[in-house]
Amino acid sequence: RKEVEQDPGPFNVPEGATVAFNCTYSNSASQSFFWYRQDCRKEPKLLMSVYSSGNEDGRFTAQLNRASQYISLLIRDSKLSDSATYLCVVTGRGSGNTGKLIFGQGTTLQVKP
Amino acid sequence: GAGVSQSPSNKVTEKGKDVELRCDPISGHTALYWYRQSLGQGLEFLIYFQGNSAPDKSGLPSDRFSAERTGGSVSTLTIQRTQQEDSAVYLCASSLLAGGRQETQYFGPGTRLLVL
């Protein structure tokens, strides 16, 4: 079983739609959680950190449920420019406090006009 | 300001040859990471450097892989006797600090390695 699991998609949605991505992680000792965005043939870039209290950045809302080991990302009012692969990422105490990132395989989003 | 840079951007080599991949982290960043992204796979951690501490090599897939970081700045990832399964995008990332308070990792554009 992978340490971080995501539905690879693709998710094909029309502009303006609301779309949600989910992710589960297996290491209960994981301490930090993120969503990264990766455009085709580009490097990953941090989209947002994820906190237990939930956090919002414009059209993007991230949630963490430690009890269920579950992370979510909600995108409202999708734009064409949101088309990308969204990577669920965790770190953990098991990483020896190095901060190394453990990536899910990513969920592909395609927003259509 | 300058981000993480990597060279070469693309490398084609023959099976059995050695290759060296270079990473220049963001100036002042003490933590440096190498990751690998194979086709259809997620990113996987390879190795981590932090200051003068011993590197975390736990992600290196075999003893054909090694990395150095000289002077706390530039890093070189070396793959000896390359195999076709080594074909992937090799990504370098750096962060200001590591451990404890999680710092954002900034990724370079990667080196696309193709082993024929």
Rounded to whole angstroms, the Cα distance separating B115 from B35 reads 18
Per-residue pLDDT tens for A49-88? Answer: 998 888 999 999 999 999 999 999 999 999 999 999 999 9
- Residue reference for tokens 């990422």: A89
Which of A26, A36, A98, A102 is best to mutate for the B interface (most B CBs within 10 A)?
A: A98
Residue B98 has pLDDT above 90, yes or no: no
Q: Which residues of A touch B95 (CB under 8 A)?
A: 99
Residue B40 has pLDDT above 80, yes or no: no
- B42-64 burial string, b = 16+ CB within 10 Å, else e? bbbbbbbbbeeeebbeebbeeee
Per-residue pLDDT tens for A16-29? Answer: 999 999 999 998 88
Residue B18 has a pLDDT of: 98
Q: How confident is the model at residue B1 (pLDDT cuts 50, 70, 90)?
A: low
Residue B90 has pLDDT above 90, yes or no: yes
Q: Which residues of A touch B41 (CB under 8 A)?
A: 105
What burial class does residue B101 get, using C-beta atoms within 10 Å of its C-beta: 0-12 exposed, 13-18 middle, 19+ buried? Answer: exposed
CB contact under 8 A, B59 and A102: no
Neighbours of A79 (CB within 10 A): 11
Bridge-based pairing state of the strands A11-14 and A107-112: parallel
Smallest CA-to-CA distance from A99 within B30, B22, B19 is with: B30
Q: Which residues of A touch B91 (CB under 8 A)?
A: 43-44
The helix (H) or strand (E) run that includes residue A45 is strand A45-49
Query: What mean pLDDT is reported for chain A?
Result: 91
